[in-house]
Homo-oligomer: A and B are copies of this chain.
Amino acid sequence: MGKQSMAKYVYSFGGGTAEGRGDQKELLGGKGAGLAEMSGLGLPVPPGFTITTDVCIRYHKIGGKYPDGVESQIDEALARLEELQGRKFGQASDPLLLSVRSGGPVSMPGMMDTVLNLGLNHATVEGMIGHGFDERFVRDCYRRLVSMYGDVVLGAPHDGFERLLAEARKREGVKVDSEISAAGLARLTESYLEYISEQGQEFPQDPRDQLAGATLAVVESWNNRRAIEYRRIHHLPEDSGTGVNVQAMVFGNRGLDCATGVAFSRDPATGERRLYGEYLVNAQGEDVVAGIRTPIAILADDGESNLGKDFPDAFAELARICDVLEDHRHEMQDVEFTIEGGKLYMLQTRHGKRTGLAAVRIAHEMVGEGRIDEVEALRRVEGEQLVQMLAPSFDPKEKQAVVDGGGLLAKGLAAGPGAASGRIALTADSAAEMAPTGPVLLVREETSPEDIVGMHASAGILTSRGGMTSHAAVVARGLGKPCIVGAGDLDIHGGELRVAGKVFKEGDFLSMDGTTGQVLEGQLHPRASEVIQAVVKRGDGAAGAQQEASPSVKAFVGLLEWADKERRMRVRANADTPEDARVARALGAEGIGLCRTEHMFFEEDRISWVRRLILSQSESDEAKALAALLPMQQGDFEGIFAAMDGLPVTVRLLDPPLHEFLPNDDKSRKGLAEQMGVSIEEIERAAESLAEFNPMLGNRGCRLGLTSPAIYDMQVEAITLAAAKLAKAGKNPRPEIMVPLVGSRGEMESLRDRAAAVVERVLEEQKAKLDIPIGTMIEIPRAALIADQIAKYADFFSFGTNDLTQMAFGYSRDDSSRFLPKYVEDGVLPFDPFEKLDQEGVGQLVELGCRRGREAKPDLKIGVCGEHGGEPSSIEFFETCGLDYVSCSPYRVPVARLSAARARIQGGAPVD
């Protein structure tokens, strides 16, 4: 094979040029591409070369050997490097020393990482000392090489080296490694070499062998057990390979005019535009990792620059370089640097990780700086990152102290983000009683609709059972309250909570972090989110709040305004009360996609009438109860329609089975019996006759609408009366009536006819003109399959993906905690389908339902109002399906606005 046709396996860089480019991350790995880019920009990078990821891929494909030509290309690159540095690798005096580092397209723990100081051996050590290098420095470099090489290349157990190092310190009577004398280091190195021999290996004295060994170790480590496991867990491709970076050494540990450090071009916590990072004087990178010496912050707390004081030129240069890199890479950078003899060298640059808060501010400010455009800013922030800006949080240090003190009691599913701390209540009633005197955490096995008042009153909700869409989780997210569910270690009985061997009674303090799922002992101090303070609590709209806003709030509001310009899908909220509606509207909701009416039924002044209705023995009893409920429901709707004036409000008719409204403990039953003047047996008999084996699959939703039609009639009348009243008062109410749980054409046809007749009658009586669309949820698999037939009788569809997921998988959301966490842990399922829409299975039903629905009625309005309506990957899928809107919990509306824009930018349905 002629040299002409041979692939290029090795890319050199340094001396102001580079063979590779910054955008060749796939070929050179992230680190190699960054080095090439910096080198090409003339930034001070120690020269070197990158062996491509292609070599790694081929190596493993052809059974563990390099493809032809790799070795010769390495030799050529090394020769160029020697020429550039004017020093030979392996020469006795002042030799070229090298580092070898791995680096794939995606960083991956488990791979062999770094070997420094390659090129040292007995001969070059003496040569360097002879050449005038500080003896202690040289000997330290050598012992570091021997231990690193012995550990990562030759596989001698790491703790052996640690033990020998400890012995050396003891021998010399010193506390830290840097106090070991040159002689002590020489002796230590000898003991290292002996230890390696005892392991049946030999440290190679020939620098070329050292280089070949280290390079090969990187390539081989691609397929070690930990790396394979990591790729499996993180769904990374098996065939991307790693690059190998060989670079001339620079030394941060050659004296007090040397240092090594890491820096971010902006503050990764807040996004503020200032250098952020830390460094160690007279140290090599591994010293930072070892954590024995505490690194110095680049910027001191008082805003002064520590690095600027220690190394004024290097600091100025670092600031300039970060700016250049941001100009070229259009992103906040995370760099590694070394200062040798006061001169700055760049060892790595990559896009920096950041908090949600920082991501928003950086993206927003970079648009202002002209570095990126608005669309790019939207690409930079993930929906979930906004959640951090909305939830209250603990001071990380305060929380860590509790954890370190053994106060982490349990972990559950992080079902509602945010931090809360307060006295625990073990029943919803006591939560409501205790709430006026201070924050309460409601701790239950599981919540039920009866608990709604207590949940409202609580600062946070904690359950030992249930999954991500259990009642507790759904309600808590709707209320924007921190929530942890399925914390199975909590044992609640006999009026006590037992966990981690401790016993807590009502009134004891606990804390919880719903963002992480941690249950913590004692009282902590959650801080309210700045955005919520500014946007929701201070004003009624984003515009008003912006006037006195902090940079973070400005960025939040600004980014979402850009999102609103880009997105096609509308965003609505799931909200049941005027208060929720106001929060949702402040956070940008363009309507209510799901107003559940059952929660209204549980309010204190209603529930006894609801129970009378259920227990009614005659038509007149029934009519009396309905007549009492009608004005209350009407009032509910007036409040919500007024709060959402001019925006659509989709009201779902009653959904849960009737037995949920009956009291389920003896005491409440007795109370109800006395109140109603019936025997307790009568109430028990009613409850028993309504009980179901599988209520989720029972007589609820539109089935109830057909078996007990008077309730829906009353609700439709209340909706229409409320709208008519507001319309007469000059408002613009836009109610939409939604029938739940439809699974057949007959159900929809019949209930639509009935509801339309009531609407018509009431509008006529009220002499009002209003268009009130009547539609349905698509939440039964069969409804999606026959969507064309249902569409004929529906003005709109709203996918209820919670129930659709339950029935498509056959998983009860209340019981799935028995196996679903294990499924996800074992990789049986890639994720919890109640959290993210299962596009592969459930998604087929959504796609089919949309397609068939629109085949029958091309202008059918279609939305989604399940929990997935606020989840970014699901929103992306809904965009591809061509949905008109998503509806989610009020506190997720910003997430949905951003995610809808991001989905649109990435593709999806064509522009209308």
B782-A842 in contact (CB<8A): yes
B782-A841 in contact (CB<8A): yes
CA distance in complex: A746, B810 (Å): 15
Contacts of A698 in B (CB 8 A): 812, 815-816, 818
Interface centre among A692, A828, A829 (most CB of B within 10 A): A828
Interface window among A247-255, A624-632, A800-808 = A800-808
CA distance in complex: A744, B832 (Å): 12
CA distance in complex: A202, B782 (Å): 57
Partner of A785 from the list B692, B694, B812, B844 (CB cut-off 8 Å) is: B844
Partner of A786 from the list B703, B744, B841 (CB cut-off 8 Å) is: B841
B706-A829 in contact (CB<8A): no
Interface window among A293-301, A375-383, A819-827 = A819-827
Min CB distance, A816 to chain B, in Å? 8
Q: A403 at the A/B interface (Cβ < 8 Å)?
A: no
Contacts of A741 in B (CB 8 A): 810
Contacts of A619 in B (CB 8 A): none
Closest 4 CB pairs of A and B: A697-B812, A746-B828, A694-B812, A782-B841
A828-B750 in contact (CB<8A): yes
Q: A245 at the A/B interface (Cβ < 8 Å)?
A: no
- Number of this chain's copies in the assembly equals 2
A699-B743 in contact (CB<8A): no
B746-A818 in contact (CB<8A): no
Q: A809 at the A/B interface (Cβ < 8 Å)?
A: yes
CA distance in complex: A838, B745 (Å): 13
Contacts of A703 in B (CB 8 A): 818-819
CA distance in complex: A811, B692 (Å): 11
Q: How many residues from A make CB contacts under 8 Å with B?
A: 48
Contacts of A814 in B (CB 8 A): 692-694
CA distance in complex: A827, B747 (Å): 10
> Do A819 and B707 contact each other (CB < 8 Å), given the known contacts A780-B809, A827-B746?
yes
What are 9 residue pairs bridging A and B, where the CB atoms are less than 8 Å apart in the complex? A692-B818, A693-B696, A697-B816, A703-B819, A706-B826, A744-B841, A781-B810, A782-B808, A785-B845
B815-A692 in contact (CB<8A): yes
Given contacts A706-B828, A781-B808, 14 further A-B contacts (CB under 8 A): A692-B818, A693-B695, A694-B694, A696-B812, A697-B810, A699-B818, A703-B819, A741-B810, A743-B810, A750-B828, A780-B809, A782-B842, A785-B808, A807-B807
Q: A198 at the A/B interface (Cβ < 8 Å)?
A: no
CA distance in complex: A807, B803 (Å): 10
Contacts of A692 in B (CB 8 A): 812, 814-815, 818
B694-A786 in contact (CB<8A): no
Contacts of A838 in B (CB 8 A): 782
A782-B803 in contact (CB<8A): no
B809-A743 in contact (CB<8A): yes
Chain A residues numbered 635-687 whose CB sits less than 8 Å from any CB in chain B: none
Min CB distance, A694 to chain B, in Å? 4
Partner of A815 from the list B693, B785, B840 (CB cut-off 8 Å) is: B693
The contact string, 1 if C-beta is below 8 Å from chain B, for chain A 772-810, is 000000011110011000000000000000010011111
Interface centre among A692, A693, A819 (most CB of B within 10 A): A693
Closest partner residue, chain B, to A828 (CB atom): B746
Closest partner residue, chain B, to A789 (CB atom): B840
Min CB distance, A895 to chain B, in Å? 26
CA distance in complex: A609, B468 (Å): 35
Partner of A810 from the list B693, B780, B827, B842 (CB cut-off 8 Å) is: B780
CA distance in complex: A188, B794 (Å): 60
CA distance in complex: A818, B689 (Å): 10
A747-B815 in contact (CB<8A): no
Closest partner residue, chain B, to A748 (CB atom): B828
Contacts of A780 in B (CB 8 A): 808-810
Contacts of A818 in B (CB 8 A): 692, 698-699, 703, 707
Min CB distance, A416 to chain B, in Å? 21
Min CB distance, A793 to chain B, in Å? 12
The contact string, 1 if C-beta is below 8 Å from chain B, for chain A 705-749, is 011000000000000000000000000000000000101101100
CA distance in complex: A782, B811 (Å): 11
Min CB distance, A711 to chain B, in Å? 14
Contacts of A697 in B (CB 8 A): 694, 696-697, 806, 810-812, 815-816
The contact string, 1 if C-beta is below 8 Å from chain B, for chain A 130-156, is 000000000000000000000000000
Min CB distance, A559 to chain B, in Å? 36
Contacts of A744 in B (CB 8 A): 809, 828-829, 841
Closest partner residue, chain B, to A448 (CB atom): B693
Min CB distance, A424 to chain B, in Å? 21
CA distance in complex: A908, B97 (Å): 78
Contacts of A810 in B (CB 8 A): 696-697, 741, 743, 779-782, 803, 807
CA distance in complex: A815, B838 (Å): 28
Interface centre among A694, A695, A741, A779 (most CB of B within 10 A): A694
Contacts of A819 in B (CB 8 A): 699, 703, 706-707
B841-A693 in contact (CB<8A): no
CA distance in complex: A504, B46 (Å): 99
CA distance in complex: A707, B785 (Å): 32
Chain A residues numbered 824-867 whose CB sits less than 8 Å from any CB in chain B: 826-829, 838, 840-842, 844-845
CA distance in complex: A23, B782 (Å): 41
Contacts of A746 in B (CB 8 A): 823, 826-829
Min CB distance, A778 to chain B, in Å? 12
CA distance in complex: A194, B786 (Å): 59
The contact string, 1 if C-beta is below 8 Å from chain B, for chain A 745-774, is 011001000000000000000000000000
> Do A694 and B807 contact each other (CB < 8 Å), given the known contacts A781-B781, A828-B747?
no
Contacts of A811 in B (CB 8 A): 697
Partner of A699 from the list B707, B803, B807, B815 (CB cut-off 8 Å) is: B815
CA distance in complex: A811, B780 (Å): 10
Min CB distance, A474 to chain B, in Å? 14
CA distance in complex: A697, B467 (Å): 13
CA distance in complex: A697, B827 (Å): 21
Contacts of A807 in B (CB 8 A): 781, 807-808, 810
Min CB distance, A168 to chain B, in Å? 46
Min CB distance, A829 to chain B, in Å? 6
Min CB distance, A552 to chain B, in Å? 41
Contacts of A779 in B (CB 8 A): 810
Interface centre among A780, A818, A840, A842 (most CB of B within 10 A): A818
Closest partner residue, chain B, to A446 (CB atom): B693
Partner of A693 from the list B785, B812, B827 (CB cut-off 8 Å) is: B812
Contacts of A695 in B (CB 8 A): 693-694, 815
Contacts of A827 in B (CB 8 A): 746
Closest partner residue, chain B, to A817 (CB atom): B699
Min CB distance, A687 to chain B, in Å? 14
Contacts of A844 in B (CB 8 A): 785
Contacts of A706 in B (CB 8 A): 819, 822-823, 826, 828
A694-B782 in contact (CB<8A): no
Min CB distance, A808 to chain B, in Å? 5
Interface centre among A750, A780, A819 (most CB of B within 10 A): A819
CA distance in complex: A381, B753 (Å): 41
> Do A809 and B782 contact each other (CB < 8 Å), given the known contacts A707-B819, A818-B699?
yes
CA distance in complex: A785, B842 (Å): 8
CA distance in complex: A815, B823 (Å): 29
CA distance in complex: A780, B838 (Å): 14
Contacts of A694 in B (CB 8 A): 694-697, 812, 814-815
